């Protein structure tokens, strides 16, 4: 079972992600956070395998960096409405294992989750 923490400031988006992810037999949403500090706190307690972080949150780069440091078994996936080279580079520099545009089909997110969970995000940056 892949344990996931959702970090998204918009409640409706958080709920939609949660509903889609729990429909998968091998995925479990262990927590949700609406901001970076809550994400860091929950990651330290819940030890998720994958943390989904919305890039539009204030200080999302700092959040991704902190998550990568405090919970080294967790892989961070950055989610964004913006699908451009700058946003992808920003995600990679923050230490994320993957970037998924919110405009992509749900299958792209599911594939990224499974891939980074199985490789523990090591040596891979999925775009």
Is 125 contained in some domain? no
Is 31 contained in some domain? yes
Is 127 contained in some domain? no
Residue 55's Cβ-count burial label (10 Å; 0-12, 13-18, 19+) is buried
Is 126 contained in some domain? no
- Quick one: CA dihedral 12, 15, 21, 24, positive or negative? negative
Mean pLDDT, residues 43-58: 86
Provide the number of structural domains found in the chain.
Answer: 1
Report the pLDDT value the prediction gives residue 94, as an integer from 0 to 100: 79
Checking if the pLDDT of 125 tops 70, the result is no
Mean pLDDT, residues 21-48: 93
With left for phi above 0 and alpha for psi between -120 and 50, is residue 36 left, alpha or beta?
alpha
- Per-residue pLDDT reduced to its tens digit, 51-91: 999 877 655 556 666 676 666 778 999 999 888 898 888 88
Is 49 contained in some domain? yes
CATH number of the domain bearing residue 40 = 3.40.50.2300
Domain ranges, residue 36:
2-119
For residue 29, the surrounding DSSP H or E stretch is strand 27-33
Which structure tokens are listed for 10? 């918009």
DSSP calls for 30-64: EEEESSHHHHHHHHHHH--SEEEEETTSTTHHHHH
Q: What is the pTM of this model?
A: 0.88
Is 13 contained in some domain? yes
Is 103 contained in some domain? yes
Is 40 contained in some domain? yes
pLDDT band at 92 (very low <50, low <70, confident <90, very high): confident
Checking if the pLDDT of 96 tops 80, the result is yes
For residue 90, the surrounding DSSP H or E stretch is helix 85-93
């Amino acid at each position: 079972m892949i344990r996931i923490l959702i970090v998204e400031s918009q409640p409706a988006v958080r709920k939609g992600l949660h509903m889609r992810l729990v429909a998968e037999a091998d995925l479990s949403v262990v927590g949700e956070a609406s901001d970076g500090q809550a994400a860091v706190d929950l990651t330290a307690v819940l030890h998720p395998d994958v943390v989904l972080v919305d890039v539009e949150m204030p200080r999302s780069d700092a959040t991704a960096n902190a998550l990568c440091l405090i919970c080294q078994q967790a892989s961070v996936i950055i989610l964004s409405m913006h699908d451009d080279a700058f946003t992808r580079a920003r995600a990679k520099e923050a230490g994320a294992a993957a970037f998924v545009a919110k405009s992509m089909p749900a299958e792209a997110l599911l594939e990224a989750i499974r891939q980074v969970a199985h490789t523990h995000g090591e040596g891979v940056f999925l775009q």
